[in-house]
Structure 1
Amino acid sequence: MLNVRFFQKILTPILFPISMLYLAIVNVRNFLYDIGFFKTTKVDGVKIISIGNIKTGGTGKTPLCIGISNYLNTLGFKTAIITNAYKAKQKSTLIVSDGSNIFYKTPIVNDETYMLAKKTHSIIVSTKDRLSAIESLNQFKPEYIIFDDGLQYRKIAKDLEVCIIDSERFYLPFGYLRDSKKSLKRCQKIVCFDGDCEIKSEITIKGFFDINGAFDKPKSVFVFCSIGDPQKFLISIKTLGIKINGFKCFKDHYYYTKKDIELLRSLKHQTGSEVLLTTYKDFVKIEQPGIVYLDIEAKLDYCALLKGVV
């Protein structure tokens, strides 16, 4: 993350004008939707909740989707989650889980999709075409459909638009904003994990786990991950008082090879670390003994967040 910021600063004379052009294109697209030039379809018989953000990278969308799904399930509602098939081997519409059984895992579907299937009782659909995905859900008759990363998808009308925000200021490629800040005006609820906003949330630690279940907090670790914001993960480990002997970062959504795992096990041994530690998003792509993951969840007032649609 720091290296990216460094190169962005060096290339400012080139990147900043491009980011202004990018913003102009985004604003034109949104304007065409606002005036009805691009059509938006209303889906009857189901309520659609969109969870999104205006920034690239890890902002907490997936933990929030999991939290909303599990909250609705506890109230007795049947829910479905539609995810983007980004970085998935299979791009066509797939029913990944019927809420009880998981039919596909990584790399057929991406890491976040498989994680949602593992951590919820929702029907999970992976797709590049959300209209097609909604049609595939007719057989299940869900009462709620959650769009994971749905803010920029405007072809379908939403009953609740939720946006997670943070302090990013600049647009791609100079910064990390991928949508206009004006888009926040069409969001009914704003959530933040840092700073002040309408609905405050926090990421809390559920504990340490391996393939066999709960695991005692380790004293020293070699950390690896392939997530949007690895620095947040490192900070969370440090706050728990765990010694970090080494760290290896892979690009977001990276699929680990056998050689990668062998290298990581070697680095753990070389650094004298007690365990290899990663995120649950990474663990679902490996699911092997000898690797520990730190599990988290999003804590917030779900009743307030879903007021008006539940």
Structure 2
Amino acid sequence: MNKIDFFFALGRPLSPLYSGLMSTRAAFYKKSIFKRHTLPVPVISIGNLTMGGSGKTPMVLSLARMLKQAGYYPAIISRGYGGKANKKSNTVSTGKKILLSQKEAGDEPFMLAKILEGVPVITGKSRIHPCKQAIESHDADILLLDDGFQHLAINRDIDIVLFNATTLAGNSRVFPGGVLREPVSALKRCHAFMLTGVTGSNRERADQFSILLKKKFPEKPLFFSKIFGYEVWAADEKESVGGFSDLGRTSGFCAIANPIRFQDSMEMNGIDLVQFSPFEDHRKYDQRLMDRLCNEAKGAGAQSLLTTEKDFVKIDHLKRTLPLYVLKVKQKEDKEFAEYILKTIQKYQ
């Protein structure tokens, strides 16, 4: 039994209590005992029922690009987890200029701001404040709530719940006895499901899980986001390299919710991985840690370092004594997903 399973076993007796509290909270919002805000523009929430990574940030990125291409002016609203900016509303990016550092913004908002052009990214613990700022100061005509499923104070027009195709619903127990943030009954309030990270190796399990969801929630559409390839970028040149062999013997590292997925991706692509260093999600990097990673990699005979996009935005400014590469995942949603999103929000125009 690993540490996480041991923790869940200890916490299992408290699961009904936590589950009850979350259900009561949701009921209070539904009955307007707790205040809910309705905004003058469409709101799309991207969230999950489970703890840990389910592909929310890539999905937000994909939706923002889709909406821009369709002629909308979206803004991304995030809690800014881990960021030091503590105003009611913190503008990470205006869409034209990045105003906050990674430490101020938090990992995911800063990454989105670095990648997306023309899309404001704003954080705030109580999301009504960044929502209002996005509309009033940045002329956003549609809002994307990153990790918004449990943030019930904002009414939404589309509520999408993501499940990773590998981890699915975990042990199907509510925290602290498992990975669920709320009981399964909470899924009644969402509008659609998305299974992310679908590959050839997990497709069968994803299909079986989708059958269960459709049986329990037949009125809700379900979509897949499939991984169709990977590419490696050289950090210093900011461009794609010819192939995985260019890395030579490499040492991988990351600080994400599911590091095993990253390790599996490297090994699946035949990357010559001589060492792998996983850290806790949202780990802060500094020069001392980067020096250690370089020295340990050299000691293991590595010729390069390899990390994720999310980690790269946190270490780009640090000095390195080995070439650094970034593994980028290429994935695409079902074409019906875009049709569903655009058709649904057109009702609110």
TM-score (norm 1): 0.93
Aligned to 1:211: 236
1:270 to 284, 299, 305: 299
Aligned position for 2:76: 81
Residue 148 (structure 1) aligns with? 146
User: Displacement, 1:296?
Assistant: 2.1
Paired position in structure 2 for 1:179: 182
Query: For residues 218-297 of structure 1, what are the structure 2 equivalents within 5 Å?
Result: 218-287=247-316, 288=318, 290-297=323-330
Measured after TM superposition, the shift of residue 144 of structure 1 is: 0.9
How far is the alpha carbon of 1:34 from its aligned partner? 2.1
For the residues of structure 2 that align with 1:262 and 1:242, how far apart are their CA atoms?
23
1:126 maps to a residue whose letter is T
Q: Which of 105, 112, 122 is the equivalent residue of 2:108?
A: 112
For 2:176, what is the secondary structure of its paired residue? coil
Larger deviation, residues 122-131 vs 166-175: 166-175
Is the 1:189–1:305 contact (alpha carbons within 8 Å) kept by the matching residues of 2?
Answer: no
1:251-291 per-position Cα deviation (integer Å, ceiling 9, x unaligned):
11111121110110011101112211111100100104532
Letter in 1 for 2:275: G
Q: Which amino acid aligns with 2:3?
A: V
Residue of structure 1 aligned with 2:64, choices 57, 63, 69 = 69
- The aligned residue for residue 15 of structure 1 is 11
Q: Which amino acid aligns with 1:233?
A: F
Q: Distance in 2 between matches of 1:305 and 1:266?
A: 50
CA RMSD of aligned residues (A): 1.7
How far does residue 54 in structure 1 lie from its aligned partner after superposition?
0.8
Counterpart position of 1:159: 157
1:33 equivalent in structure 2: 29
For 1:149, the aligned partner's letter is D
Per the alignment, residue 332 of structure 2 pairs with 299
Residue number in structure 1 paired with 2:344: 308
1:215, distance to aligned residue in structure 2 (A): 2.9
**8 Å contact from structure 2 (residues 169, 179) kept in 1:** no
The worse-fitting range, judged by mean Cα deviation, of 33-42 and 147-156 is: 33-42
The offset of 1:106, in angstroms, is 1.0
Bigger Cα displacement from structure 2, 298-307 vs 219-228: 298-307
Provide the rounded CA distance (Å) in 2 between the counterparts of 1:141 and 1:227: 33
Residue type of the partner of 1:278? T
Aligned AA (1:162): I
- In 2, Cα distance between the equivalents of 1:90 and 1:3? 35
Residue 54 of structure 1 pairs with residue 49 of structure 2: yes
Amino acid at match of 1:208: V
Cα separation, partners in 2 of 1:245 and 1:284, compared to 1, 3 Å: same
Inter-partner Cα distance in structure 2 for 1:26 and 1:38 = 13
CA distance in 1, matches of 2:14, 2:25: 17
Which has the larger displacement, 294-303 or 151-160? 294-303
> By how many angstroms is 1:305 displaced?
4.3
Matched, 1:131 2:128: yes
Q: Secondary structure at the match of 2:60?
A: helix
Deviation at 1:152, TM superposition (A): 0.4
Instruction: Give 1:204 shift.
Output: 4.2
User: What is the DSSP-based 3-state SS (H/G/I as helix, E as strand, rest coil) of the residue aligned with 1:25?
Assistant: helix
TM-superposed CA distance for 1:20, in Å, is 1.9
Task: Return the alpha-carbon distance in structure 1 between the equivalents of residues 81 and 11 of structure 2.
Answer: 25
Q: Percent identity?
A: 28
1:43 alignment partner, SS class? coil
Q: Which secondary structure does the structure 2 equivalent of 1:284 belong to? A: helix
Match of 1:90 among 67, 85, 88: 85
CA contact (8 A) 2:231 2:330 kept: no
C-alpha contact 2:11 2:177 (8 A) present in aligned 1:
yes
Structure 2 equivalent of residue 5 of structure 1? 4
Give CA deviations for 1:195-229 in whole Å, capped at 9, x if unaligned. Answer: 13310112344511113222342243211111001
What's the CA shift for 1:6?
4.1
Which one is further off, 142-151 or 162-171?
162-171
1:151 shift after superposition: 0.3
Task: Check the 8 A contact 2:169/2:180 in 1, yes or no.
Answer: no
Q: How does 1:195-210 map to 2 (within 5 A)?
A: 195-196=206-207, 197=210, 198-209=222-233, 210=235
